[in-house]
Amino acid sequence: MSIKNEVHTIVGLGEILRDLFPKEKKSQEESCKLLIKKYKLDLVCVTKGKNRSLLITERETVKHNGY
């Protein structure tokens, strides 16, 4: 059995998105969806500090405020 799923961590996502899509003036969610489409990703997870995160797929965004 082979593992097909890979997990990638991107530090400084905002800077990377600006470099990848310099002409795009999009929200963080829209930029992540462009990243998903461009690199055929299943999911992008954006951590937003100690108690918040976003899970973004091509079809859905889930906002989590922490516990």
| pTM, 2 dp | 0.64
Q: How far apart are CA 49 and CA 59, in angstroms?
A: 24
When pLDDT is averaged across residues 25-34 and rounded to a whole number, the result is 81
- pLDDT value at residue 35: 84
Looking at residue 54, the DSSP 8-state letter turns out to be E
Give residues with Cβ within 8 angstroms of 13, minimum separation 6.
Answer: 32, 46
- pLDDT value at residue 3: 43
Q: Any alpha helices (H) in the chain, and if so which ranges? A: 13-20, 28-39
Q: How far apart are CA 55 and CA 58, in angstroms?
A: 10
- pLDDT value at residue 10: 55
Tokens of 28: 């963080």
Residue-wise pLDDT for 1-25, tens only, equals 344 445 555 556 666 767 776 776 7
